[in-house]
Every structure is written in structure tokens, then in C-alpha cells.
Amino acid sequence: METTTLGQWSARRGLVFGAVLALVAVWVGACSGRSPAEHIHQLKSMRKVERTKAANELIRFDADEVVPLLIDEADSGYIRVRFEVVNLLGRFKDERAVPTLVTALKDKSPRVAAMAAWALGQVRSPDGLPALLKYTRDPTVEVRQYVLGALGPCHDNGLEPALSDSAYRVVHRALSARKPKWRIAALQSLREYGYRDAAQDVIRMSRDPSAEVRHVAVQALGQIGSGQHAPPAPKDPIVPVGEKLREEIYQTLLVALDPDELQSIRIKAMRALVQLRDMRAIPHLEQRAREGTDKERLEARRALDKLNPQPVAKR
């Protein structure tokens, strides 16, 4: 009589278990082929995890299938549905959604209105700019934050000059806004204008009381100083950086390397110095490679590898 060893039994059991799992996977796949309408209905669920799951499934469909259905659902009586709808319209980046998103800026829920502003910034359509300008003084922190952040992406040189200039002035003024989130949103938005006439403001913001503001400002200085201060397809012409301004930026970034500054900002400053391609930064980077934290030493060595033709020994 043939005897089955323990090893053979385990192997056979593994094969059977694997086959069962494969069958289950096929069954689940066959049962999960829901239509977009079914997923949209799931957005009404009280459970956030279910709404998130439905939204992630919807984004896999073709925009022509889903966007019209989302637009139809945008006036739902459920705040949670309207929120998920405008979020999805922003993720699809479909210009057909612009009128719906403009209407959603007036939503009674600040969360929905803020998400609508964010979505308009994702779509990047200049058709949304006039509506956004009406909400630049919204008292809700989150709404104003996302409105300011969307003004730059929705800016376009083809716009009526007065409208484009109005948006620029709002963004530029907001660099000194009361709330750190507003200052950050304005600075990020201003990148779409190539940081036009704002280099001194960015230098000032690198000394802002808010660490979050300083973090974004230091990153922006690297872009300005290197001439990479505009999107890949700039909407405004890039103005070359003069030597005087470049020197100011360099000195400002050295200040951001101070050991008393936050580690994350020092690391941003190192990366910005690499963007400047100024060889005078090498001794300062070597000092951080010797005296910094583990993360700083690693970042400093990376920076030196890009600036210094001679390899830097690990310490």
C-alpha cells in the first residue's frame, strides 16, 4: 500500500488551496463588473470607505461614460454625494464639468465649495476664472485657500488682459495674507505666472513665521534662481534672473541651511542650491555632510555628487 508522506500531503493541499483561491478570484471578478451608475449610487453610502471605493472604481471608467452621470448627480440632496461628485470631476479634468463646478462654488457646504475650487484648478480652464474671482475674499479658510490655489492654473494669456491682471493682483496680494494656508496657496498659484515681480516677496517668505510657508518659499527660490520658475508650457514668458537677484537667492538659501532651522527646510535648501549650480555652495554642503542628521548627510552627499566632480567620501 502506497504511503503519502507529510510533505506530499502538504504539497497536494497547497495545490488544492491555490485552485480554490483562483476560482474565488474569477467569481469575484465576474460579480464586481458594476456599471458607473451603480458606483455613483454607492456614493450615497454613510460609510466613507464605501464612498472612497466607489470613487476609485469610477475613475477607471472612460470620462465619456462617467462625467455626464456625475454632472447629473451634482445637485444631489446629500452633501456627501455632492462632495464626491465635484472631487471626481476634478480628478477627470474634463472641461465639460466647468459650468457644474462654477455652480458648486455657491454650495451651502464649505467643504463642497472648496472642493469645487480645487477641481477647477485641476481642470485648468480659463472659463472658471471669472467665477473664482468672486470668492477670493470668502470668509471660510478652506474655500479661500483653494480659490487662491486655482487662480494660477486657470490663468491663460488668451484671456481678456483686465481679467488676467485682476487674478494676478489677487494672488500677489495674498502672499501677505493673514492665514499661512492662504499664503502658501498664493505662492503655489503664482508659479503659473512665473513668479512675476514676486522674487523679493518669496525671499521674504523664506523667513515667514510659519514653517510650512518657509518650506514652499525655499523650494520656489530654487526654481526662480535656476530659471525653472514656470510650468513646462509657460503661460507667461520667463524673465531671466539677474546676477544681483541670483546672489540674494543664494545667500537666502545659505541662511535656510542654519542648524536651527527645521531639517525638512534645510533639505529643501540643499536641493535648491543644486538647482542654482553655484559651486560656492560646496563647502556649506560638505559641512552638512559632516555635521547634519542622517537624512541631511545623505541629501548633502547627493547634492555634492551633482555639484562636485570629485566623489565625496561617506562619513
pLDDT tens digits along 135-181: 999 999 999 999 999 999 998 766 778 888 999 999 999 999 999 99
Residues 175 and 313 in one domain: no
Does 21 reside within a domain? no
pLDDT > 90? residue 118: yes
Q: For residue 311, what pLDDT is reported?
A: 55
> Looking at the structure, do residues 257 and 129 belong to the same domain, yes or no?
no
Total tally of structural domains belonging to the chain: 2
Residue 123 lies in a domain: yes
Alpha-carbon gap, residue 253 to 267, rounded angstroms: 11
Do 180 and 119 lie in a common domain?
yes
Q: Classify residue 30: in a domain, yes or no.
A: no
Q: Are residue 160 and residue 251 in the same domain, yes or no?
A: no
- Give dist(CA 156, CA 234) in Å, integer: 10
312 and 220 inside one domain: yes
> Do 182 and 41 have their domain in common?
yes
Q: Are residues 289 and 188 in the same domain?
A: no
Residues 161 and 238 in one domain: no
Tell which of 176, 193, 210 closes a domain: 193
CATH of residue 162: 1.25.10.10
Same domain, 106 and 208: no
The last residue of one of the domains, among 159, 177, 193, is: 193
Residue 18 in domain: no
| Domain region containing 110 | 36-193
Instruction: Region of 78 please: left (phi>0), alpha (psi -120 to 50) or beta.
Output: beta
Considering the domain boundaries, does residue 3 fall inside one?
no
Segment 179-228, tens digit of pLDDT = 999 999 999 999 999 999 999 999 999 999 999 999 999 999 999 998 86
Q: Could you tell me if 223 and 263 lie in one domain?
A: yes
Q: What is the dihedral of CA 143, 146, 148, 152, to 10 degrees?
A: -150
Cα 309 from Cα 247, distance rounded (Å): 23
Percentage of the chain exceeding pLDDT 90: 77
Q: Does residue 22 sit within a domain?
A: no
**Residue 268 included in any domain:** yes
pLDDT of residue 26: 35
| 15 confidence band (pLDDT: 50, 70, 90) | low
pLDDT(245) > 80: yes
Domain boundary among 161, 193, 225: 193
- Verify that 225 and 78 share a domain, yes or no: no
Q: State whether 150 and 253 are in the same domain.
A: no
Residue 23 in domain: no
